[in-house]
Chain A
């Protein structure tokens, strides 16, 4: 079943840790904070 939202991380260090553990690439969206 589809998740309702993308579960974004907000820390590059955390993303690197998860990516290393899960064997995935990081998808980084630089967004305009407005």
Chain B
């Protein structure tokens, strides 16, 4: 991450504008056990109280890193029930990084969030059709398959 992704201008701009960046050594006596650090790189999103919202492990190249952060931010809002905000984050993934590995999950979660907001079952049907058409090799197609029966 230090050699490739963190020096990348898009990553610097995104993190500097949208997040509070914090680096902690993986052998930190208090925080490593608290966050159950077993391997690095370990990347977490926390709220302002320090509560963990999401985590990913392993290297991300720059073109995958920003969409993964957007997806994580959207999922954090989704989990808090802040669906309109979550949908905006998922839309950013799909508009700006449609070829990233985060995009299929963004399609799925955007459709689910829209369904919960509107109770319109077409959002579930459409998310399956979108995944099948645009991301046919993604595991998210299988996860959405039940919606093809609605």
* A interface, CB within 8 angstroms of B: 2-12, 15-16, 18-20, 22-33
Contact = CB atoms under 8 A, between A and B. Distances in A.
Interface residues of B, number: 40
Interface stretch (B16-24, B103-111, B124-132, B140-148): B16-24
Nearest to B42: A30
Given A6-B21, A16-B49, 11 more contacts: A6-B11, A15-B22, A16-B46, A19-B47, A25-B46, A25-B48, A28-B22, A29-B24, A29-B42, A30-B41, A33-B26
A32 B13 CA distance: 24
A26 B12 contact: no
B41 A25 contact: no
A20 to B, nearest CB: 4
